[in-house]
Structure 1
């Protein structure tokens, strides 16, 4: 460990190249995969940039996700989180046994087998949006025409949320995920979304339908407030993450023509391509964060009880000790083991749904429009550096 690796750093967000993590992260990972991190509120905790260390911490029950124990590495994010996530049903920030109770109720709804049953409908939704794109013609914003509506419609149908109300929850979600939102703006957006979904939950209890919210309302002991919290998490996560992967993944492929051609022309590589894009792009780019419940030694570093640990998944997914030539996009690579969906008990519940949507959408888009290209210079595509989920704000394309 060098002397430089003992000095606290702050979490960088600025990127020299839009598809690569901030350059400091790679240098720090080479010096030491765990180093002191200065948090905006004055707390001194840790930054983890190595794959092995990040994976170990994610799997270790001695590290907590409880929001009341965490310090956040981004200004305002701690206050934003505390104002929104300390509510019943928000199991994302719970430890066992509370987390276990919610997770068990939901795990069976997102299995590989269930996602397989959804494939024909996802294919139909994708085809409909490609038809609409073809009718309108380019140039077009791929985020609004394709990447955002497909996962939004899928999660709406799965949960039983009216797709006609998408502007409301997409607007509120954008405020909740913006690093620039004030606490007051976050609270207003969250309350607006909760009020809307609380009314939905009550309707589902009175008149259940064939959807996930109705099933949870009739087959579990969740209170209205708990079910509203669960539905809020699933709705936001179910469209925002996949939407940004579809848009950012297409942008990455358009900048790598040989990789795009492989995804378009070789069905046998699509599954690996999805995993590689998840690894290479890592849209969860500023966390997660854990708090040590007791003194823990990881890689020779003593993390003391109460200290927060920020895991840079984007750096861990570019660790050359885990992925050879990690800064190269290679859609034929077997990229299993990436941490984009997390690891351990908090691993993303909807990961199989996201994979299914991407496996269907990428090749369908590229085969329908083999001449797809950016309609603006690459440097003019606005990146989501100011959002908790990375991606592009808009993606102007033509064909």
Structure 2
């Protein structure tokens, strides 16, 4: 069956740069040809190779309800019949914004966009416009999309941008304090509250609180990139869990219910700097797309079901106990990092992750195809899915010795 994916990949490379529309999908980090997907439902993806996989990538964390949730799909079908894009204001985008601001109180007003990259890029622009400063602090272990400032120093990005970006180490408050004290042209500090693109790194106890104190002291804005963490652990954001109030927040993934929808927002006085009220320009042809917003509204409604997050977190914890046992008895240099329904296998030898990934793939378990990416549990994962996965993990680890 691998021949099917190899053939499809060769064909894709003729017409699509690299054969994929986002680099990590290529399986370059794990080797081999990527699995080409025909359809998906619930916790499963179905490959063109005829195989069924229990999915823990979930479109990179966008599908907390699983694939093709019945209620979301029905809402989308109704929305499409009314038109797929207007390029004009709608009542439903106001209702969506109202629900977001109620769930995440630090977001007093928001602006809808189509991707997490747009949200982070626009939030930083708003921070610069409001503060009348130029520079930003980011962290090496955090990912904020592919905007130029987030890739400063990389090929294809103007060299002069590096002067305005300070790339520091996550959890190292002393570096932040030194940078802020020496340079008063820093507009903002942007951070993932939980770093989820270099494995899974949790903030040390004082880190987020320290960032808040330092940014207030040195008059820089604090931006939380919660594209991954937003609505992952509770009906709100990680800032609700940690009790830290940033100036600006970026949301994405889950809030779109599988459609291209994201947003950024924050204090009213900051958001007023955006056009048409202010002079900081931000726009988008498909921003507030009515189909995506309908999917997002239905998703938020389902996430607010009493007991939703408790059930999801309890299910995840039981699963992790099985995985912990498999890891402890394996004799392999690996640990399981997790927070709520988000987890990552961290191998001392990253080459072993490649073998582990393919062993699981052969057992019908699809992880995010990179050792640096996290995996996700959805409400669609059944007890059987999780038990079968735990058994597969035990087997895959045994094959690494």
TM-score of the alignment, normalized to the shorter chain, above 0.5: no
TM-score (norm 1): 0.25
TM-score (norm 2): 0.25
Question: Normalized per residue, which structure has more strand?
Answer: 2
Question: Normalized per residue, which structure has more helix?
Answer: 1
